[in-house]
Copies of this chain bind each other. A is one copy, B any other.
Amino acid sequence: MSERRPQRADAKRNLDALVEAAKSCFAESGVDAPTRTIAEAAGVGVGTLYRHFPQRSDLVTAVFRHEVDACADAAPVLAEELEPDEALVTWLRRYTDFLGTKKGLGKALHSGDPAFDALPNYFVDRLVPALTSLLTTAEAAGSIRPGVNAKELLYAVASLSAPVDSENSAPGTDMVGLLIDGLRYAPQR
């Protein structure tokens, strides 16, 4: 049960390089980017890729988790650097960036492949607490209306960021911006 010799330094380096390379390749060519291409971009052989990620899908989930983590971890940092409401708004923008990044990744998620079943939960488990703390702080400071539910806001922003099928809304209307303003505008009671 104890970790034997921890891990060789080059192995760790290669693993990081692989995740990074995969992130780039997925962003550039979609989640279907060939493993060979990713290995090459990371400067390793395919054998190395497959030792770290026995299945292609393992690499996909690793990238997903990595990006979710990065997004979640940004929350405390912003909370420390900015005023409560600015931290919140900046984080929501950061979150929409994250959503935009994973274009094809969303397709993979709902592809029915059981390899990805755990990801939606991971998404919620990591991001809801992050957003909740920002909301709580901002609410306590009186910067936003009270009673906003983190999970619902997460989903609302996600669906507003989703590409509209064709010409639903005027292209250029910043729906997320409207939503954020809505947060700030406390309802007269």
Residues of A that sit less than 8 Å from B by CB: 104, 107, 110-112
Contacts and interface: CB of A to CB of B under 8 A. Distances in A.
Contacts of A107: 110-112
Looking at chain A's contact residues, is the secondary structure mostly helix, strand, loop, or mixed? loop
Contacts of A104: 112
Nearest to A111: B107
A110 B112 contact: no
6 contacts: A104-B112, A107-B110, A107-B111, A107-B112, A110-B110, A111-B111
A37 B112 CA distance: 22
Nearest to A30: B112
Contacts of A112: 104, 107
A110 B112 CA distance: 11
A104 B111 CA distance: 9
A34 B111 CA distance: 18
A104 B110 CA distance: 12
A112 B163 CA distance: 12
Nearest to A112: B107
Contacts of A110: 107, 110
A155 to B, nearest CB: 15
A104 B113 CA distance: 11
A111 B111 CA distance: 8
Nearest to A120: B165
Nearest to A104: B112
Q: Across chains A and B, which 4 residue pairs bring their CB atoms closest together, nearest first?
A: A107-B112, A107-B111, A104-B112, A110-B110
A118 to B, nearest CB: 13
A105 to B, nearest CB: 11
A142 B66 CA distance: 60
